[in-house]
Structure 1
């Protein structure tokens, strides 16, 4: 029975991944800052017959990750999805909040990589899967700290793949979804005045978790999950001027809700109560599907129009 570690297992894609691996018969080590939420997830995983260990840890503190490897004595797959987020213009987000998002999302991933790769080197095998993001390949306003972290994570993963070419049994992978219906948007720090939401088209955490399980079975360097990802990436690279004109208004309409909110630090420095931790964030798929198709269609039409204009 393979042993799978999931860091960021208390909510969202991490929680969905833990449940997916439990259904597949894996032994699980669940890691996050919130022990009460982890115990809820552990109970859900044990209902599928999975052996489970709970390790409360903060990925920003490398020493707290030491007990993870000892939980079952080995690790075959390590899935890292822990992340926090902050909304607001760069100059409106307090420096300490910006820095903590980068510390958690990028340096926390580096801490995980150090522990995981050291163990994989000893056993000469192992698969390390990072949860990336479409925002590691494109840029949106009002999410500067998160975007900075995810671009850095993509570079880190590429470097790790290069540096483990001498160890054929070690695989380093990146699974990058677009917008996903998770609690991260509502739990994020916010200095934008309106609560964030995933812009359409929106995928479920279960869909991303299924991709992560497939990646664990047949490792791939990179995987993308999301109907419009390639199209958005194309627009970002091929028609940057048009992208820059459209992304701000689209973000204000689709990426920020109409629900007002006072400035707050969200879960950047401390975990949210267990009631705020879940697999899904509560978005309604009927709204997401047609709106997402419309956004993707408009983006494609704009890109084609721009390219025709430039080619004249």
Structure 2
């Protein structure tokens, strides 16, 4: 795909990896549909871009009708959608037993439902045109489960499976020219750490090595240009961790649990649902 002039929708565009992706794609000449829950933050993002380069479309990605309407609005205003990047996501810390069931369901609705709704909104027109790329942002934690983040791991594993299933469906239907990619970052320096739901009673921080959101954004842009089924980001250490998990899952999972306990959880803090329910609490910066 040529990004110069392409129409690309980015969900979660108000902060973190999504905001970095918007900047990267705008730099490459794409015309952008910006989706997130908070209009004001999206307008701040659009103000950073060249004039008439971005269309602000606030909606909750967990709402399938709203996402479909957003896709129709982008198509009407900018033209057929060439690329769709599902970046919207939230995090939650706490054990399965300590996290309120409503928070778990909400996390799954945003992280899994958001990708599903984005795929259902984007793919029909791509299939009709025999052209387009869908990028779903998962996580290395979708491959390697860890304590204190089980619901998050569940959601990111499901995103990875969704992408694989969609690829299988496209192959089975003989659809060419349409690709579904999954990007799996390691720990990234974004506001998701401070805006996460937290039922551990401790403060959270990313464990090393911590990647830059701009680096993930460049990988997302590369997948739009040259699709691949899966790409792990985060440097050689993260890729080696994923490779080691393939051959020795038990030891790697135990080691990751120790790293999270030592580096990510410290001090004390109040219990919170973070940005799960309130978009005003979402981090609108690219980094922490």
TM-score (norm 2): 0.92
Higher mean C-alpha displacement, 174-183 vs 220-229: 220-229
Residue of structure 1 in register with 2:197 after alignment: 189
Residue of structure 1 in register with 2:287 after alignment: 280
Residue of structure 2 in register with 1:108 after alignment: 114
Query: Structure 1: which 5+ runs fail to align?
Result: 282-312
**What SS does the aligned partner of 1:149 have?**
helix
Residue of structure 1 in register with 2:152 after alignment: 146
How many Å apart are 1:193 and its aligned residue? 1.2
Q: Does 1:54 align with 2:56?
A: yes
Offset from partner CA, 1:10-37 (integer Å, 9 cap, x none) = 0110000000011111111100001111
How many Å apart are 1:244 and its aligned residue? 4.1
Residues 27 and 223 of structure 1: is their aligned pair in 2 closer, same or farther, counting only changes over 3 Å?
same
Contact 2:11 2:86 in 1 (8 A): yes
CA distance in 2, matches of 1:26, 1:247: 38
Q: 1:253 aligns with which of 244, 259, 262?
A: 262
Contact 1:7 1:14 in 2 (8 A): yes
CA distance in 2, matches of 1:16, 1:245: 32
Contact 1:69 1:119 in 2 (8 A): no
CA distance in 2, matches of 1:252, 1:10: 30
Equivalent positions of 1:40-189 (< 5 A) are: 40-46=44-50, 49=51, 51-65=53-67, 66-71=69-74, 72-165=78-171, 166-189=174-197
Q: 2:273 aligns with which of 253, 265, 282?
A: 265
Contact 1:86 1:143 in 2 (8 A): yes
CA distance in 2, matches of 1:20, 1:146: 26
How many Å apart are 1:273 and its aligned residue? 4.5
Q: Aligned Cα RMSD in Å?
A: 1.4
CA distance in 2, matches of 1:268, 1:67: 21
Q: 1:230 aligns with which of 239, 263, 267?
A: 239
Query: Structure 2: which 5+ runs fail to align?
Result: none
Q: Does 1:203 align with 2:211?
A: yes
TM-score (norm 1): 0.85
Offset from partner CA, 1:261-307 (integer Å, 9 cap, x none) = 10011001121347x311011xxxxxxxxxxxxxxxxxxxxxxxxxx
Residue of structure 1 in register with 2:34 after alignment: 30
Offset from partner CA, 1:40-72 (integer Å, 9 cap, x none) = 1111123xx561100001111011111333321
Contact 2:137 2:184 in 1 (8 A): yes
Which of these two proteins has the greater Rg computed from alpha carbons? 1
Contact 1:29 1:54 in 2 (8 A): yes
CA distance in 2, matches of 1:244, 1:163: 32
CA distance in 1, matches of 2:225, 2:199: 41
